[in-house]
Structure 1
Amino acid sequence: MDNDVYGHVNNVQYYSYFDTVINEYLIREGGLDIHAGPVLGVCAESHCTYAAAIAFPSVVTAGLRVAELGRSSVRYELALFDGEADEPAATGWFVHVFVDRETRRPAEITGRMRAALQALVNEA
């Protein structure tokens, strides 16, 4: 499904890769419970710049860092690489607002989740 009629990964898949990379990290390192946890992350904004084509069955390698960490939101920066390539095939950013599962109102990022996100803060 990744490749489109032009024989390369379709642009919409890159956003799916971004989402997968972020959520896998949040689940593993931040303890995010996507099924029953009291807080969830909602995408408020995203962007992708394409530099080169990737085609299935290439292995996509991703880089993830946190550019801004607020009280209830986080802005990630991502890079997608075709396998072991030195230059990214795509770069982008993605903003999560953490909200209460029931009320959908912003929820403060605390504890293990904040620590996991802080570990990715770009200090440069």
Structure 2
Amino acid sequence: MEAPTRAGYRHFLAVPTRWMDNDVYGHVNNVVYYSYVDTIVNQYLVEAGGLDIHAGPVIGIVVESHCTYHAPVAFPDVLEGALRVGRIGTSSVRYEVAVFRGGEERAAASAHFVHVFVDRATRRPVPVPAPLRAALERILVASP
């Protein structure tokens, strides 16, 4: 799989690496990328879509995730997370995320992440709330 480029993404977020992100092999450990992806997605949902992660009636539950690693990164790299939406359903959304080393055109990693929005109390699927749907539609692109 060829690494995606910046041109395909709509939202960017600086993501600094931390000393503890490196593993014994001297690069960011694979599991840490999932933390980056979660941060990139949820930062957008909170800031652009008004998601109340602490008390809102609706929450997103991850039902699928995948990550492909194209090139290593390591502390003290400052990364840029890139986000787009590949699909919005009635109660679900597929986020497509890339992690770029600062200034590089090709992603060091690319991932996807699927949320199903559910009622906080019952955990039953609910339609994507209108403010979130509007924010997600702003970064919706056709998947390559």
User: Which TM-score tier does this pair reach, normalised by the shorter chain?
Assistant: over 0.9
In the alignment, does 2:130 pair up with 1:111? yes
Please give the secondary structure, in 2, of the residue aligned with 1:40.
strand
**Structural mapping, 1:18-97, within 5 Å:** 18-97=37-116
After TM superposition, the score normalised by the length of structure 2 is: 0.84
What is the CA RMSD across the aligned residues, in angstroms? 0.9
Q: Following the alignment from structure 1 to structure 2, what is the Cα–Cα distance between the partners of residues 123 and 103?
A: 33
Q: Which among 120, 123, 129 is matched to residue 101 of structure 1?
A: 120
For 1:6, the equivalent position in structure 2 comes to 25
* Cα distance per residue 1:40-99 (max 9 Å; x no partner): 011000000001000011111011000000010000111100111111000110000011
Aligned residues: 124
Show structure 1 runs of 5+ residues with no match: none
Q: Per-residue deviation at 1:110? A: 2.4
Show structure 2 runs of 5+ residues with no match: 1-19
Please give the secondary structure, in 1, of the residue aligned with 2:124.
coil
Partner letter of residue 51 of structure 1?
H
Q: Following the alignment from structure 1 to structure 2, what is the Cα–Cα distance between the partners of residues 96 and 57?
A: 31
Please give the secondary structure, in 1, of the residue aligned with 2:37.
helix
For 2:3, the equivalent position in structure 1 comes to none
Q: Following the alignment from structure 2 to structure 1, what is the Cα–Cα distance between the partners of residues 41 and 129?
A: 17
Moved over 6 A (4+): none
For 2:14, the equivalent position in structure 1 comes to none
Deviates more, 1:106-115 or 1:40-49: 106-115
Percent of aligned positions that are identical? 60
Partner letter of residue 69 of structure 2?
Y
